Amino acid sequence: MLNYESFLRIPEWRFVDESISARNRSALESFAMDDTLCHLVGQRMSIPTVRTWVHDETVVLGIQDHRLPYVTEAISMLENTGYKTLVRNSGGLAVVLDEGILNISLVFSEQNAAIDISAGYEIMLAFVQRLFPEAEGQIKAYEIVGSYCPGSYDLSIGGRKFAGISQRRLRQGIAVQVYLCVEGSGAERAELIRRLYELGLQGEQTKFVYPHIQPEVMASLTELLGIPLTVADVVIRVQKLLHTYANNVFIGGLSEEEIDLYAFYLNRVFERNQKMLTKK
């Protein structure tokens, strides 16, 4: 059996921490950042990179969510509740971002060898399992029915979901992304998405089958592990874990040359989102 953790044991990692600096910025900037890193790592202009990021109250809608029959009313509800909304131009359904959710991106290059989609998921699963040794043997990957943005690589403990994994592929680079519900109430976040679908559908039948959200199947790691875990704690764990994998861990943001590339991807992401908002 392939040891997926071997993909993480490399001579050098780059670590970009935006768990504080990105909070009050648009989540679109994070999409642009991962596209930039995909390009840089994919083209061997940067070593493999781990990025941690957090955004204030935002609901990221998938393309199908934006096609809800009453999406305007649903978005108004979210905004009245204090959440910004945006649409990502990729797969998946609605997810919640807030100060208690840590997102982690692992960015690899496929120039030397291909990393298929299932391998990408398994690498992130191995990474998350190592991050939380107190949950050894308990973190499972399978679809949690009733969760928001359900998928075959939902991560759960005791049948309650705390994380979901996605991937972005660009210019021979792969960004494997996980959102970790670290603090707060997983059920309260799920209730918000339940209301989104309730108001967005209003009982209408649609070709696309939206998930029937059951808030009780979602929880935070604080709730599941019974320890006072914070986002800041997990960021420290990420950095320490990287040091166990690599001889060198380089910490820092983008260089001047890299910022020019980021500006290109940022403009592209904002243009795509604007197009998404003008059509259903």
pLDDT tens profile 108-156: 999 888 899 999 999 999 999 999 999 999 999 999 999 999 999 999 9
Q: Which of 264, 61, 60 is nearest to 171 (CA)?
A: 264
Q: Where are the alpha helices (DSSP H) in 132-230?
A: 186-201, 221-225
Q: Which two tokens stand for residue 33?
A: 């950042």
Residues taking part in catalysis: 149
Q: Is the pLDDT of residue 261 over 80?
A: yes
DSSP state of 99: T
Q: Which of 95, 96, 99, 157 is nearest to 125 (CA)?
A: 157
DSSP 106-157: EEEE-SSS---HHHHHHHHHHHHHHH-GGGTTTEEES--TTSSS--TT-EEE
Predicted local confidence at residue 111, as pLDDT:
87
Rg (CA), the chain: 18
Q: Is the pLDDT of residue 280 over 80?
A: no
pLDDT tens profile 56-83: 999 999 989 989 999 999 999 999 999 9
- pTM of this structure: 0.95
Predicted local confidence at residue 220, as pLDDT:
98
For the chain, the structural domain boundaries read 4-277
For domain 4-277, the question of CATH label 3.30.930.10 is answered with: yes
Give residue 276's pLDDT band: very low, low, confident or very high (50, 70, 90). Answer: confident
